[in-house]
Structure 1
Amino acid sequence: MPSPLFFLCIVVMLAGLVFAAKGVRLSLADRRLEARLSAIAPSATPGGERFALPGFIAARGRDRSELESRLQLAGFRDPRALQLFVGLRIAATAGSALLVMLLCRVAWGGWLARPLLIVIGAGLVYVGMKQALYMLASARSRRVTAEFPFLIDLMLMMLESGVSLDQCFRSIARDEQVAVPEHGPLIGLLIADLDRGMRYELALDRWAARVAISGGKELAALFRQAMFQGVELAPALREFAREFTQRRVARAREAMGGITVRMVVLMILFFMPALFIVLGGPPVIAIFDTLRGAGR
């Protein structure tokens, strides 16, 4: 007679088969839905081909959302920017590993003579690509934030002269892009969206997403309220200009504090050793001379 353990194994096996069948069914349904959506939606790449990385190297979860936000903040608005960055990151990591292996072959006679050095080199490149993206995003964020007060002052000047908000946008996109090199192309894209028939709410939301810094969404909401609810725009814009000016001053103070810290580190690295040698050298020499004389 079979033991109860045998029946338990049979039940677990059958349950596993049922769950596996349901998983296969859901996977097939997901693929069919994805195929239908790709047939309905326009392709992201020229020629109708979709660009996607294999699942085992594609960014996921928190890393994916963080990279997307940084790419958008850095000004990369192409839908394929994330896949291109991840692919470039993987290629640079593999290339650095191959270069270090070649160095090991030339210097120590074996491709894997220094495996720790290969891992360190590839890891530094992998982490450095992300840090480079952060630096690009931070640099663009500083430029856009620094340009916001001038852009708002320019809009205030136009609005107080009797120009409507729509005409203000069009005038900046047409004639003032040299004065606002960061915001001019973004406002030009906003006007292009409006000319294609997009509603103002959606066009302003897309503009705020392209700006991608704190305060852009609030400014877009203020423009919507001014256009559709009759909110007075000039006082609120002055408050926004004051806020962005304060941010610029805060960034300048932060940079000054960083320079002070770097100067202290440089003094510790280069000045203190020389000072120790100058101050401690003669006593140490005297002690050695005394010990040498006592030894004689």
Structure 2
Amino acid sequence: MTADHWWIAALLALAAGIALLGLRGWVVSNRDQRSQQALQSALRPRDAAATPAAPPTPRRSLRQHWLDAIAAFGERFNGGRIEAALLAPEDRLLLDQAGWNTQAGTAIFLGLRVLIAVATVLAVLAFNESTGFSRVMVIFGALAFGILLPKFALRAWAMRLRKQVRAELPLLIDLLRLLQGVGFSMDQSLQTLGDKLRNAIPVLGREIHQANLAYMHGRSREQSLRRLGESFDDEDLRSLVQLILQVHAHGGAVQEPLRQFSLRLREQRRSTLKEKVGKLSVKMTVVMMLTLLPALMLVLAGPAIIALASALTKLD
């Protein structure tokens, strides 16, 4: 066998080992689930008529099984050098913004980076026929692409969430003003926003709901709202969280500060849109010069050019 064949065989063996590890994690999770169900059925009292029947356990989807297998595979790298190399502080911030900064989310992210990197290298070895140094460079490029692809996807998702947070912030301020105007306290307003008005502001409503749960479990209001103020890297949202904390700690009327904050935020966004429109008009001027001006010159000067050409042909 040649050296290339040995490389392909080694990587195939590595991929098979990774697949077996994921399958083993899936089998172990299913076995534990069956054991727990058998234990619960054994501990159930014999007089089933006297006790209400437990609700049936929902069947887990194939996607959830695959996520559990990837998480079981990624947990093997927790606390090691691979986690230190593949999980930078920037990646943790992106996971926090996407709501995946948990043990399971971190394990899934690590498992996906390793699996996609190995799959990309295997695909390159199977379909690329280059030799020598160029083959080594292609393999390293495929490995880097496979490692960075999950990070690019996570960054795009976090950027989408940040844009959605900026779009939901004015509505959050208006809802908070409305709830304060009908006599709710700050705690009651946050509970209502996180429970009953979550559909109006999906991202911020979910974050407020998580902050309310942390506050109910014993954390202070400042600790529970820390993630909301720091994760999305938005200065306006951070200022709103500081205002909420001040009102929660010292009390006082908050409708007028919220109204001023809402007006300032809308004025700032209006000026930002005007700036974007001004830049867009300059860019469109260049586009019109490159596309519309040649067509306009052709329409205006075309008949004169055709008449001049016909006159010159008649002279000949």
Residue pairs, 1:192-271, within 5 angstroms: 192-209=213-230, 213-245=234-266, 248-249=269-270
**What is the distance in 2 between the residues matched to 1:111 and 1:91?**
26
Q: Could you list the per-position Cα deviations for residues 108-155 of structure 1 after superposition, in whole angstroms to 9, with x for gaps in the alignment?
A: 398998333333233233333322222111110000111010010111
**What is the distance in 2 between the residues matched to 1:246 and 1:232?**
23
**What is the distance in 2 between the residues matched to 1:126 and 1:261?**
36
Stretch of structure 1 that moved more, 255-264 or 242-251 = 255-264
Aligned to 1:68: 92
2:111 to 67, 87, 99: 87
AA matched with 1:115? V
1:56 to 81, 88, 107: 81
Stretch of structure 1 that moved more, 141-150 or 197-206 = 197-206
Distance 1:91 1:243, change over 3 A: farther
Instruction: Name the count of aligned residue pairs.
Output: 224
Q: 8 Å contact 1:177–1:184 — kept in the other structure?
A: yes
CA RMSD, aligned part only?
4.1
**What is the distance in 1 between the residues matched to 2:227 and 2:130?**
56
**What is the distance in 1 between the residues matched to 2:195 and 2:90?**
34
Q: Could you list the per-position Cα deviations for residues 251-271 of structure 1 after superposition, in whole angstroms to 9, with x for gaps in the alignment?
A: 756876589869979x98xx7
Aligned: 1:123 with 2:144: yes
Cα shift at 1:207: 3.9
**What is the distance in 2 between the residues matched to 1:259 and 1:55?**
53
Distance 1:139 1:262, change over 3 A: farther
Aligned identity (percent) is 23
Distance 1:60 1:260, change over 3 A: farther
Q: 8 Å contact 1:172–1:187 — kept in the other structure?
A: yes
Distance 1:102 1:255, change over 3 A: farther
Unaligned runs of 5+ in 2: 1-67, 299-316
Cα shift at 1:97: 0.8
Stretch of structure 1 that moved more, 145-154 or 83-92 = 83-92
Cα shift at 1:244: 4.2
Distance 1:169 1:93, change over 3 A: same
**What is the distance in 2 between the residues matched to 1:247 and 1:79?**
39
TM-score (norm 1): 0.60
TM-score (norm 2): 0.56
Cα shift at 1:60: 5.5
Unaligned runs of 5+ in 1: 1-44, 279-296
**What is the distance in 2 between the residues matched to 1:259 and 1:250?**
15
